[in-house]
Amino acid sequence: MSCNTRELHVVSRREHHTKNYESRRIPMNDALAESLRRHPRHINSLYVFCNKEGQPLKNVRTVPRYAAKRAGIEGTIKMHQLRHAFCSHALMQGIDPRTVQKWMGHKDLNTTLRYAHVLPDHEKAAIQRLRYDHGHQG
């Protein structure tokens, strides 16, 4: 990761493309950039996420499982669930659906909307903000 340009290049031993065989750039906010800067680094490795020998992780599927276990979350956590969670939270925070669509790499907005799940508390808060008559909350 370049701390100056806030770029993180994903390196894989095997060729990986999106479903549409396209590459994409995903922006990084300040909080993520700071977390990556503070992430413990192996002294002799160019990789941000590596094993104890400084080599890149071979199976990223184990990372969510390990993190969930450390957080006391039971059950299986899969990478695809993290995509759903990211999409849902981005939309619930008011980020434009077309922007989220781009970040997710979806060709069709409907695909992005299928990823979105509304939390009950968010739904309750949303209905309270709804106005029916010239600014009076209903």
What pLDDT, on a 0 to 100 scale, did the predictor assign at position 20? 64
For residues 60 and 51, give the distance between their C-alpha atoms in angstroms, rounded to a whole number. Answer: 11
Tell me the whole-structure pTM to 2 decimals. Answer: 0.70
The residue whose two tokens read 């390196």 is 11
Q: What is the pLDDT of residue 3?
A: 46
Torsion-angle region of residue 18: left (phi > 0), alpha (psi -120 to 50) or beta?
beta
* pLDDT of res. 52: 85
Q: Give the pLDDT of residue 4.
A: 46
pLDDT confidence band for 2 (50 / 70 / 90): very low
In the chain, domain spans: 1-58, 79-137
Reply yes or no on whether the pLDDT at 111 is more than 90: yes
DSSP string, 40-98: ---TT-S-SSB-TTSPBPS-TTHHHHHHHHHHT--S---HHHHHHHHHHHHHHTT--HH
Comparing 101 with 27, which gets the higher pLDDT?
A: 101
Which pLDDT score is estimated for 132?
A: 85
pLDDT bracket for residue 8 (50, 70, 90): low
Statement: residue 79 has pLDDT above 50: yes
Residue 37: name the closest of 86, 63, 2 by CA.
Answer: 2
Average pLDDT value over all residues in the chain: 81
What per-residue confidence (pLDDT) applies to 70? Answer: 84
Structure-model confidence comparison of residues 50 and 7, the more confident one = 50
Helix (H) or strand (E) holding 133, with range, is: strand 131-133
Q: Which pLDDT band holds residue 137 (cuts at 50, 70, 90)?
A: low
